Structures are given as C-alpha cells and as structure tokens.
Amino acid sequence: MITDDAETVVEYLVGSGGFLGIGEKHVFVPKDQTVVKIDGISVELVIQLDAAGFRIDIRLD
C-alpha cells in the first residue's frame, strides 16, 4: 500500500505476470480503481481498470 502524508492509502503496489516470482513486474494501482472485499478471514482486491491504467515503476524490477 502506498500512503500520503496523512497515512491514507492512495495506491496499491501489485505484482503482475511472471511465474513463481520470475519475470514479475510491479505496478501501482490507484485506490479509486479498486474494491476491497472481505469475507471472514479472506481479503480480495478487485482491480477495475485495463492495462493502460497501470503505472509501472521500473526501479523495482
């Protein structure tokens, strides 16, 4: 999770692609383009945008 100065979540950092961590890319997903679903102990982050909406940070790769 990426937070602002007030410690409010503004983006999520998500690993995408690859296999067993090899070739994985890290992308930032804006919070307003997601829905968090909590069902008991299970937490699911649903991303509601296409690939063009991702912001890729190549410094992490």
pLDDT tens for residues 38-57? 988 898 888 877 766 666 55
Look up residue 39 and give its two tokens.
Answer: 């069902």
Burial 12-46 (b: 16+ CB within 10 A, else e): beeeeeeeeeeeeebbebbeeebeeeeeeeeeeee
Higher pLDDT, 17 or 60: 17
Evaluate if pTM is beyond 0.95. no
Give the model's pLDDT for residue 59: 53
How many structural domains comprise the chain? 1
Give the model's pLDDT for residue 1: 72
Phi, psi of 54 (to 5 degrees): -75, 145
pLDDT tens for residues 17-39? 778 768 888 888 888 888 888 98
Look up residue 44 and give its two tokens.
Answer: 């699911």
